[in-house]
């Protein structure tokens, strides 16, 4: 399984990741984060329902999409945890899979709370290598 970074380290989102793509624009970053929070909540519900129904393939697919979205916005730990869940859906025991899902839930909550409190968008610094 992929090694997921500990969720207790630092901020759950590295603002510089998304800022490198769209520029250091706090309002636009905030919009992306809010959109991510909404889609992540939908994804978490879909994974929970898929696991409850015994549909590992559906859970794996949603975890894969969430992994990509999380990494795109700079939520690396969430992306790593989603990768672990994705891999556990491919043949691990139900206990391992449920444990992986719980870790994803915990990190998704950290990310959501960070977004809801405004995260780092109010003190955004220009990322290295960015030229306006």
Residue at 128 is within a domain: no
- What does the pLDDT look like over 9-18, one tens digit per residue? 689 999 999 9
Q: Of 41, 89, 40, 84, give the one whose Cα is nearest residue 65.
A: 40
User: How many domains would you assign to the chain?
Assistant: 1
Residue at 16 is within a domain: no
- What does the pLDDT look like over 96-113, one tens digit per residue? 999 999 999 999 999 999
Element (H, E) at 84: helix 76-88
pLDDT of 14 reads 94
Residue at 59 is within a domain: yes
Provide the CATH number for the domain around residue 107.
Answer: 1.20.120.160
pLDDT of 9 reads 61
Higher confidence at residue 109 or residue 118? 109
């Amino acid at each position: 399984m992929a090694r997921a970074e500990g969720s207790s380290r630092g901020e759950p989102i590295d603002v510089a990741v998304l800022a490198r793509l769209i520029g250091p624009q706090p309002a636009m970053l905030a919009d992306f984060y809010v959109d991510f929070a909404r889609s992540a909540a939908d994804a978490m519900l879909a994974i929970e329902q898929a696991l409850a129904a015994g549909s590992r393939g559906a859970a794996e697919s949603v975890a894969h999409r969430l992994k990509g979205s999380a990494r795109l916005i700079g939520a690396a730990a969430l992306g790593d945890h989603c990768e672990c869940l994705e891999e556990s859906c491919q043949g691990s025991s139900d206990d391992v899979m449920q444990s992986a899902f719980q870790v994803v839930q915990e990190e998704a909550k950290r990310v959501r709370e960070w977004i809801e409190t405004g995260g780092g968008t109010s003190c955004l610094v220009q990322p290295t290598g960015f030229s306006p």
